[in-house]
Amino acid sequence: MIRLENISKQNSHRILFFEASAALNRGEKVGLVGPNGAGKTTLFRMITGEESPDDGQVAIEKQVSIGYFNQDVGEMSGRSAVAEVMDGAGPVSTVAAELAGLETAMCDPDRANDMDEIIERYGEVQARFEELGGYELEGRAREVLAGLSFSQEMMETDVGALSGGWKMRVALGRILLMRPDAMLLDEPSNHLDLESLIWLEEFLKGYEGALLMTSHDREFLNRIVTKIVEIDGGSLTSYSGDYAFYERQRALNEKQQQAQFERQQAMLAKELKFIERFKARASHASQVQSRVKKLDKIERFEPPKRRQTVSFDFPPAPRSGQDVVILKNVHKSYGSRTIYQGLDFMIRRKERWCVMGVNGAGKSTLLKLVTGSTEPDVGTVAVGGSVKIGYFSQHAMELLDGDKTVFESLEDSFPQAGLGSLRALAGCFGFSGDDVEKKCRVLSGGEKARLVMATMLFNPPNFLVLDEPTNHLDLDTKQMLITALANYEGTMLFVSHDRHFLATLSNRVLELTPEGIHQYSGGYTEYVARTGQEAPGLHS
């Protein structure tokens, strides 16, 4: 269906692809993986024709429709969310726009004289709209938006008034409604809450076209894809299986390659030793000659290319008292919206609470109350003795000084620390070499998140409060953070939509629902087993 044949591509001095080949066949669901900057987005752009390979070709079967979702959604305004999503569905959207215009004209007193023509035209357009399945399309568009957590009210809102994250969902909705022959999805799981993520998972499982996607959510990949294409060092390698299979297979391949390399090195050392020892003896001249020739002809094995993986170990945090935070009779409202009414909640040392709830249930508000970023209207929030809070919020990323470099930001936060330890800290969080000289304003979302985390964890708090800490992190950095937090000795309260993160790190669940607030001992895995659902908004 779509074939990449011996493609080569260079970006300035960087070789992204060298004589690389891969294929996307009908009905296949493929995960595209590789380190940041390896060329995943470039590959998508070559398939859509936005970029061309320097050599080789991208072959696409005739009449194959392609839908491409990426993180750059562009300008959207002037239409409701539902109209914008329907606009992705081709000719029917043009007819829908005319129909809406005629409906407006019918209500316009200034056009009373044209009413006969307007009504006649309305009848023609309405018939065409029906013929194209327009009414079912609107129903499907609303279904897709509801799946992506839009309320009925938001569906009618002008897209221009929505935040960036919600605009992303509208752009994703357009592609999903289009149901093209092939879907290219670049990070569709970003900016989605857990309910939307699970809905999208089910939608994509039922999608019959070919799918090529990237995602930083391993659980999401594991449940959808049946093949992985890895970009690494300019080549494309295919693995038939899910992401977990790919990880195991890659590790096994590396192990075999290392063993092969070591065996050959031992053999070469032995041969070279013989040559060195007997090269001056005339009696061994022919043997030495034949061994030299043999070595010249041998195809040398390379050691496996090791991915640079960073690891971070927490310095031990000072011990806090047993009672970390106590909330008593807490009431909190924003305008007419009541978030909490008489909340009693207590966190004890070494507990790791994950907070579950649909959008607007009050997850971030709880974290703000606990950290003192917002005050309760009624009631008290008492932080225990010797508790040192580290708070990661999306807001913290916006507060970075754009004119400072990564290194200057760390120096400002820790004026007493030596250069060596700050460089080591930067390295742990993926800022190596010249990266520390980057200005904060040019950092990507993932880089900003890593810098904020590095600042928060250097002088470790004994109580971590984390609001969607993995939102912008790639798979490797996310795994590094999970491994580090699994060994962390302190207390945690966090919100995340990453099920691997939730399952690995929580030992308590606080569920916020319209029916009330429920506390569960045991972590996310036990919560799923007990409730039979992966998120509170999925009550059947």
**pLDDT score at 309:** 62
The overall pTM is greater than 0.85: no
pLDDT, average across residues 263-280: 89
The residue among 312 and 348 whose pLDDT is bigger is: 348
For 106, how many CA atoms within 13 A lie in the half-sphere containing its CB? 13
pLDDT reading at 134 higher than 90:
no
pLDDT tens sequence across 229-263: 999 889 999 999 999 999 999 989 989 999 999 99
Domains of the chain by range and CATH?
1-65+180-241 (3.40.50.300), 81-177 (no CATH), 252-297 (no CATH), 323-403+440-531 (3.40.50.300)
pLDDT reading at 307 higher than 70:
no
Average pLDDT across the chain, whole number: 90
Please report the beta strands in 264-377, taking only residues with DSSP state E, as ranges in sequence order.
323-334, 337-348, 352-356
What letter represents residue 355's amino acid?
V
**pLDDT score at 450:** 87
CA distances from 86 to 13, 168, 385, 522 (A): 42, 15, 56, 43
Classify strands 2-11 and 55-60 as parallel, antiparallel or unpaired.
Answer: antiparallel
Residues forming a β-bridge with 376: none
Exposure string over 444-481, b if 16+ CB within 10 A, otherwise e: eebbbbbbbbbbbbbebbbbbbbbbbbbbbbbbbbbbb
**Residues above pLDDT 70, as percent of the chain:** 98
For residue 318, the SS3 value is coil
Q: What confidence tier does 153 reach under pLDDT thresholds 50, 70, 90?
A: very high
pLDDT reading at 540 higher than 60:
no
The closest of 347, 386, 373, 372 to 493, measured between CA atoms, is 347
What is the side-by-side strand order in the sheet with 508-513?
A: 389-392, 463-467, 491-495, 352-356, 508-513, 516-521
Written as six digits, the tokens of 313 are 């170990």
C-beta of residue 58 within 8 angstroms of C-beta of residue 50: no
Whole-number Å distance between alpha carbons of 370 and 389: 9
Give 79-95 as a 3 state SS string.
CEHHHHHHHCCCHHHHH
The closest of 469, 424, 423 to 450, measured between CA atoms, is 469
**pLDDT score at 208:** 94
pLDDT, average across residues 86-99: 79
Written as six digits, the tokens of 490 are 């302190």
pLDDT tens sequence across 465-496: 999 998 888 888 888 889 989 988 999 999 99
Helix or strand (DSSP H, E) at 513: strand 508-513
When mean pLDDT is compared across 89-93, 158-162, 234-238, 507-511, the lowest value belongs to 89-93
- Residue 148 DSSP class: T
**Residues above pLDDT 90, as percent of the chain:** 59
CA distances from 446 to 249, 471, 500, 506 (A): 27, 8, 18, 23
The closest of 398, 491, 497, 492 to 451, measured between CA atoms, is 398
Q: What confidence tier does 306 reach under pLDDT thresholds 50, 70, 90?
A: low
**pLDDT score at 89:** 76
Whole-number Å distance between alpha carbons of 302 and 256: 12
Residues forming a β-bridge with 508: 353, 521
Q: What confidence tier does 375 reach under pLDDT thresholds 50, 70, 90?
A: very high
pLDDT reading at 191 higher than 90:
no
Classify strands 29-33 and 210-214 as parallel, antiparallel or unpaired.
Answer: parallel
Q: What confidence tier does 146 reach under pLDDT thresholds 50, 70, 90?
A: very high
pLDDT, average across residues 153-171: 92
Residues forming a β-bridge with 340: 332
Whole-number Å distance between alpha carbons of 291 and 287: 6
Whole-number Å distance between alpha carbons of 296 and 410: 52
Written as six digits, the tokens of 519 are 């506390």
pLDDT reading at 329 higher than 60:
yes
C-beta of residue 67 within 8 angstroms of C-beta of residue 182: yes
Apex 477 CA angle, 199 and 430, nearest 5: 145
C-beta of residue 457 within 8 angstroms of C-beta of residue 312: yes
| H runs (alpha helix) in 186-233 | 194-206, 218-224
pLDDT tens sequence across 428-474: 888 888 889 999 999 888 888 889 988 888 888 999 999 999 888 88
Q: Determine how many CB atoms are found less than 10 A away from the CB of residue 54.
A: 14
When mean pLDDT is compared across 49-63, 294-308, 454-468, the lowest value belongs to 294-308
Whole-number Å distance between alpha carbons of 457 and 426: 11
Whole-number Å distance between alpha carbons of 75 and 192: 20
Apex 465 CA angle, 462 and 471, nearest 5: 130
Written as six digits, the tokens of 218 are 């391993």
Quick one: CA dihedral 235, 240, 243, 247, positive or negative?
Answer: negative
Exposure string over 406-429, b if 16+ CB within 10 A, otherwise e: bbebbeeeeeeeeeeebbebbbbb
Written as six digits, the tokens of 433 are 């070499």
